[in-house]
Amino acid sequence: MRDSARKRDELFIDLLHCMATAVGYHFDKVQLRKGSYRPIAHGEVELGQKVIRESLVSILSGRKSVPITVVSYPAFDEALKTAQAAVPQVAAPKEGGE
């Protein structure tokens, strides 16, 4: 580990130790260094990344599919307009369902 990274980590541990002491927690620096302190947000980020990775593997391996909803189909819309223009009965159905 480079000296600057080592210094950064040591300063971070000092900061965590001071914060813990100020709010009434009793962590020693060795516990903090070994990772007994872990912010909730870090765990949430890792869980989210795990879910994304597992889902992607399931999709790429064919175990799951991606649900798709078609909200517009432009080629069909254009074909319908052409048909309605060519056959007026398609555009306006007769009264009484005949």
State the pLDDT confidence band at 97, using cuts at 50, 70 and 90: low
Task: Please give the structure tokens belonging to residue 93.
Answer: 């159905």
- Give me the percent of the chain exceeding a pLDDT of 90: 31
SS3 94: coil
Taking only the tens place, the pLDDT of each residue in 46-86 is 899 999 999 999 999 999 999 988 787 777 878 888 888 88
Q: Which of 4, 34, 3 is nearest to 16 (CA)?
A: 34
pLDDT greater than 60 at residue 16: yes
| pTM confidence score | 0.38
